[in-house]
Each structure stands twice: as C-alpha cells, then as structure tokens.
Structure 1
Amino acid sequence: MTEPRTRQGARKEGPGQTWEVLLTEILTNRPRLAGAACAGSPELFDPAEPDEHPDSVGYRHLAAQKTCLYACPVLDECRAWAETEKGRGRVLAGLIPRSTRLTPREDVA
C-alpha cells in the first residue's frame, strides 16, 4: 500500500494512528442530523481555547445553546446521541458544560 499523500507531500499521522483509523473513529456512530441548526457554526460549540477569556467562552456557548433550543428541528435526535457522548467542554444538544456556564457577578449593581 502506498503512503497517503496531500498536495504538500506525505500525510502526517497523529500519535500512533493512521489517517484511516482516525477518520473511522470520527465517523463511527455519528448521527445523520439533516437540517441541524448547528451546521455551519461549529465554532460556537467548540471547547474553550487555551487563551480564551472565560466570559467569551460563556457567551459563545450561550449562543450555541440558543441555536439548539430555539432553532433546531432535530434537537430530540441530537439529545439521544449526546447522551452517549462525553462533552469534553463543548456544547452538545443545547447542554452547556458546567465549566463554561456564565455566573452572575456580585460586583455589578
């Protein structure tokens, strides 16, 4: 078998994984949620970046939650899938991880 290649040359593999294994892992047991409101806005749902301010993450995740709860026609199917997944700091099916929830500030009048 020949080495997978990209336009830049040989494909780089992750630690201990070939690209086929990685792709299979990504696509296995993923629901087909046609019409999902999150399609096209994955950045809202992603976990916090290392240098991202907690308030920015909280507001981004709040926008993701509203997208799910108010605009998604497949929320029930997504929730059924999300129950089998680990959140890993991301928004799934309108559920915000505890670590990124906004909390009221006491110093604001």
Structure 2
Amino acid sequence: MTRRSRNITGAADPRSPLELILTDMLRDTVQLPDAACVGRGELFDPMSEGESREDVDERHRTAVRLCWECPAIGPCRDWSIGEPASDGVLAGRLPEFRRPPGRPRSNDVA
C-alpha cells in the first residue's frame, strides 16, 4: 500500500512522494512554454561519447540559431545567469563564451 500525503484541507493527495518532491524542486523553475527549444533539448547537450567535434559544433550552432530567433530569449537569458557552467548551449551562448576569464580547465587541450 502506498502512503499518500494530505493536502491543506486534509484530503489525500493523489501524487506519489517522488512527485511531491519533484514538484517542490521545480516550483521556481522558469516556465518558457513558447521557447523554440521545447522538444529539441538534444541540440543543446554537451558532447556525447563517440560524437565528433564537428558534429557537436554543428549541433550547437543550430541550437544558437534557434535561441536567437526565440521569443523567450530574454527571460531565458535572465534565468541562465544563476545556472552553473555547462558544456552545452545555454540561452544562446556556446560553452566557450560562458567560461569566466582565467586559467583554462585542466582537461582543456592546448
């Protein structure tokens, strides 16, 4: 038997504990339903194992073009400011343009 939470009125909440936790975690996540990237997340991902640098670059260029034509680029950029660094495209920015100035990472190839 699955134990159900109770909402403020005392009625049983039909969502599982995992759903409740995820809902709470995502509550403050930016909502961009009209964003051009919806359903196209693979374009923005970091390099996959076995993927060539040329394929990644082409995929990332496509992602950036989507961003620059996207009606949600403003709110997306605002949201991205607080996000951790990534090796994928974020808010129309390629990874190399989001890195802070300074020494290169130890795994960068010279």
Structure-1 separation of matches of 2:93 and 2:64: 7
TM-score by length of 2: 0.64
1:32 maps onto 2:31 in alignment? yes
Matching residue of 2:79: 81
Letter in 2 for 1:91: V
TM-score by length of 1: 0.64
Structure-1 separation of matches of 2:24 and 2:67: 25
RMSD between aligned residues: 2.6
Structure 1 residue 47, shift from structure 2 partner: 1.2
1:53 maps onto 2:45 in alignment? no
CA 1:56–1:25 in structure 2 vs 1: closer, same or farther (change >3 Å)? farther
The structure with higher relative contact order (CA 8 Å, sep 6+) is: 1
Letter in 1 for 2:38: A
Structure-1 separation of matches of 2:31 and 2:67: 16
Structure 1 residue 58, shift from structure 2 partner: 0.7
Q: How many residues align?
A: 84
Q: Identity over the aligned pairs, expressed in percent? A: 39
Q: Which runs of 5+ in 2 are unaligned?
A: 4-16, 98-110
Larger Cα-atom Rg:
2
